[in-house]
């Protein structure tokens, strides 16, 4: 058995990969310069003779005619590329499928096409796989990690949803900053861990800010990327984490307040967003987050004698890089 490597471009341009094709030993080797068509018989053609012309020109005698340096070969009659056994058809004339078939005339073979010229893969066909990424649904060959591992840094706005907490800060909107590390941004389900911080001025009775409420959260979430391979993709996420609030720079010594100096709660972030991923690896995320929390004892609302909830919303944007 002999193995021959030929370009798939010659076999129809399916791919630029090389293909090794096994050809049985009893089959003649096709010449690369000749079509795979047996030479037509030439029963009546006269034997071709080539005049013996000296390759080294002799010095001609003075006055003798000049001998041409290039030997001339009589032209061989041009042979048709199509076997002569193919019944001739008039171009444009339809072929009658019910016409009787002459057993002495070989059946007409369809014109060779690129697909027909390509042997069907058999157990003897060896096709080296070099560029088959597209066959895997959850694989991004551009990225070194193949699945997308990235880090983003961003910031935005946040606010509390509980009325008592909203009334306890100087503004309904505070600042938030966060860092996220994601594994699997180019597969449907990925993991995201993050740090998030926020700050808001505490409202005082005198109308001036009295201290700062600083929140810190460490969270992990599952992220569902809806279009894993697209540059633009929406995503949703949900998870859980730990959140701590500290009251800083407050004149606590001279005030009677239901605000504790700190509190720890479990939080459950959930939300969605839109992500853009540049081919160079840069990313840009817009996201909205709602954080549900477990019971908090940070702030006692004297009107209801109940502790306020620390549920919050967040709208943020982030820049990052993935590989």
Partner 1 sequence: MVCAACSDGTLGDVRTFDACSPLAVTAPAATDAQRASLAGASAAWASVGVTAIDDTGSATDSVALVFANGSPAEYGFYDGAASPPTITINLDLDDTTRAVAIAHELGHAFGLVHVPAATRASVMNPGNLVVAPTADDAAAISAIWGACAPNAP
Residue numbers of the site for partner 1 (CB under 8 A)?
164, 167-169, 202-207, 210-211, 248-260, 299-303, 308
Residues 287 and 57: their CA atoms lie apart, in Å, by 88
Name every residue whose Cβ is closer than 8 Å to that of residue 175 and which is 6 or more positions away in sequence: 155, 156, 157, 158, 198, 199, 200
Q: Read off the tokens for 298.
A: 């940070």
Which neighbouring-strand residues pair with 89? none
Q: Smallest gap, in angstroms, from Cβ of residue 200 to partner 1?
A: 11
Nearer to partner 1, 134 or 303 (CB): 303
Name every residue whose Cβ is closer than 8 Å to that of residue 214 and which is 6 or more positions away in sequence: 197, 198, 199, 245, 246, 247, 248
Nearer to partner 1, 237 or 307 (CB): 307
Nearer to partner 1, 252 or 270 (CB): 252
Name every residue whose Cβ is closer than 8 Å to that of residue 5 and which is 6 or more positions away in sequence: 18, 19, 20, 21
Nearer to partner 1, 258 or 288 (CB): 258
Could you give the C-alpha distances from 131 to 69, 76, 139, 141, 224, in angstroms and in order?
54, 47, 12, 10, 27
Nearer to partner 1, 160 or 235 (CB): 160
Q: Smallest gap, in angstroms, from Cβ of residue 222 to partner 1?
A: 35
| CA dihedral for 107, 108, 110, 116, sign (positive or negative) | positive
Q: Smallest gap, in angstroms, from Cβ of residue 307 to partner 1?
A: 10
CB-CB contact of 21 with 125 (8 Å): yes
Q: Smallest gap, in angstroms, from Cβ of residue 295 to partner 1?
A: 16
Nearer to partner 1, 29 or 254 (CB): 254
Nearer to partner 1, 237 or 245 (CB): 245
Closest CA to 139 of 228, 232, 237: 228
Q: Smallest gap, in angstroms, from Cβ of residue 167 to partner 1?
A: 6
For residue 136, what is the DSSP state? -
Residues 102 and 108: their CA atoms lie apart, in Å, by 11
Closest CA to 148 of 51, 43, 249, 225: 225
For residue 253, what is the DSSP state? G
Q: Smallest gap, in angstroms, from Cβ of residue 305 to partner 1?
A: 9
Residues 117 and 112: their CA atoms lie apart, in Å, by 6
Find where tokens 């290039």 sit. 70
Q: Smallest gap, in angstroms, from Cβ of residue 262 to partner 1?
A: 13
Q: Smallest gap, in angstroms, from Cβ of residue 168 to partner 1?
A: 4
Nearer to partner 1, 155 or 258 (CB): 258
């Amino acid at each position: 058995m002999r193995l021959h490597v030929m370009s798939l471009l010659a076999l129809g341009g399916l791919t630029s990969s090389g293909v090794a094709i096994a050809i049985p030993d009893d089959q003649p080797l096709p010449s690369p310069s000749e079509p795979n068509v047996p030479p037509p018989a030439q029963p009546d053609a006269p034997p071709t003779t080539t005049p013996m012309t000296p390759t080294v020109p002799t010095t001609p005698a003075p006055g003798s005619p000049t001998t041409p340096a290039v030997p001339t070969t009589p032209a061989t009659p041009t042979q048709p590329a199509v076997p002569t056994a193919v019944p001739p058809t008039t171009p444009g004339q339809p072929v009658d499928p019910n016409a009787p078939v002459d057993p002495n005339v070989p059946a007409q073979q369809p014109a060779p096409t690129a697909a027909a010229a390509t042997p069907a893969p058999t157990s003897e066909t060896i096709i080296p796989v070099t560029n088959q990424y597209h066959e895997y649904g959850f694989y991004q060959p551009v990225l070194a990690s193949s699945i997308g591992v990235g880090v983003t840094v961003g910031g935005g706005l946040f606010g509390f949803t509980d009325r008592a907490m909203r009334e306890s800060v100087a503004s309904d909107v505070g600042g938030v900053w966060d860092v996220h590390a994601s594994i699997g941004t180019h597969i449907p389900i990925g993991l995201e861990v993050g740090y998030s911080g926020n700050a808001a001025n505490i409202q005082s009775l005198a109308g001036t800010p009295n201290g700062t409420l600083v929140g810190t959260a460490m969270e992990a979430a599952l992220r569902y990327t809806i279009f894993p391979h697209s540059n633009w993709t929406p995503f949703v996420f949900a998870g859980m984490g730990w959140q701590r609030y500290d009251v800083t720079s407050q004149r606590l010594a001279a005030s009677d307040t239901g605000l504790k100096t700190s509190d720890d709660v479990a939080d459950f972030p959930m939300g969605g967003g839109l992500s853009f991923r540049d081919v160079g690896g840069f990313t840009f995320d817009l996201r909205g987050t709602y954080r549900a929390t477990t019971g908090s004892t940070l702030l006692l609302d004297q009107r209801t004698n109940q502790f306020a909830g620390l549920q919050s919303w967040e709208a943020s944007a982030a820049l990052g890089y993935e590989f």
